[in-house]
Amino acid sequence: MSAVNIQEKFDLFQDHWSPKKIGELNGQQILLAKIKGEFVFHKHDNEDELFLVKKGVLEMHLRDEIITINEGEFYIVPKGVEHKPVAKEEVHILLFEPLSTKHTGDVVADITVETYESI
């Protein structure tokens, strides 16, 4: 196995809200996504979810506050907490989450992805 260049992986796709799997370890998946606009409010009852911002500024809307996550920062959404990612401009994120985590959690929407493409 060779080293993974994250920027080269980001360069392989342009679509928004469709995470791409770049690795797995210890029951976790490493995903990359480009996002722009608003996602849907959802939650993951049994999994925490880590959002690491590689490019841009991400707003994580919770029911009672908005967390701003700047480039180079990460935020962990605790399991069971409703959240809605919002990106006013295109944002590149890296996500760590259990393999069992569903894209839109407890919500099925037009943007729900059932199986992540591996790149």
Indicate the average pLDDT of the chain: 89
- Residues 6-118, CATH architecture: Sandwich (2.60)
In 3D space, the residue among 43, 67, 44 whose CA is nearest the CA of residue 57 turns out to be 67
The residue ranges of every structural domain in the chain are 6-118
Per-residue confidence (pLDDT) for residue 1, from 0 to 100? 73
User: 67-91, pLDDT tens digit by residue?
Assistant: 999 999 999 999 999 999 999 999 9
- CA distances for 49 relative to 13, 31, 39, angstroms: 22, 11, 15
For residue 96, give the nearest of 38, 33, 43, 16 by alpha carbon.
Answer: 33
Q: Which residue has the higher pLDDT, 111 or 58?
A: 58
pLDDT value at residue 102: 63
Residue 25 has pLDDT above 60, yes or no: yes
- Beta strand 74-77 with 66-69 is unpaired
